């Protein structure tokens, strides 16, 4: 019994490390403006939800947005400062979700969250959501600015 529990914990720890590596590769590729490596982290039917309300993209739509930016040698950097990864407690151990605190030179602290799926090619991102972290005591002011447009 103990051996089975220990084996499960080792597998979970290993899978969490693999998921973290995907997210780290995603940031490294975007920082380096390496579109090929960046988009290789996603499933073909992935979704990217950005900070703007209009940014709800399929992978081809997101690639069309990002390709010209990467082609100019520009990228973006959002290294994680904290991250929580959960492997779904289902038999296949093939779904994971995460939430992370990110740091960006222009935006400061932001958040990333999403879902990954274990594929034949390893863990791939199914959905990534990038959002701003708005302190509760400033939320009303931010909402008023948005409404004012």
pLDDT score of 134 = 84
Beta bridge partners of 116: 96, 125
Distance CA 71, CA 15 (A): 33
Confidence of residue 62 (pLDDT cuts 50, 70, 90): very high
β-bridge pairing 108-119 and 56-58: unpaired
- Global confidence as pTM: 0.87
pLDDT score of 105 = 94
User: Residue 131's closest CA among 106, 105, 112?
Assistant: 112
């Amino acid at each position: 019994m103990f051996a089975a529990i220990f084996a499960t914990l080792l597998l979970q720890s290993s899978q969490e490390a693999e998921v973290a590596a995907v997210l780290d590769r995603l940031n490294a590729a975007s920082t380096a403006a390496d579109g090929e490596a960046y988009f290789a982290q996603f499933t073909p039917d992935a979704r990217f939800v950005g900070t703007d309300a209009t940014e709800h993209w399929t992978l081809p739509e997101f690639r069309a947005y990002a390709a010209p930016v990467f082609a100019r040698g520009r990228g973006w950097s959002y290294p994680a400062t904290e991250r929580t990864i959960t492997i779904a407690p289902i038999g296949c151990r093939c779904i994971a979700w995460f939430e992370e605190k990110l740091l960006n030179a222009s935006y400061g602290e932001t958040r990333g969250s999403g879902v990954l799926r274990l594929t034949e090619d390893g863990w791939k991102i199914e959905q990534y959501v990038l959002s701003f972290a708005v302190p509760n005591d400033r939320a009303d002011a931010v909402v008023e600015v948005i409404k004012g447009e």
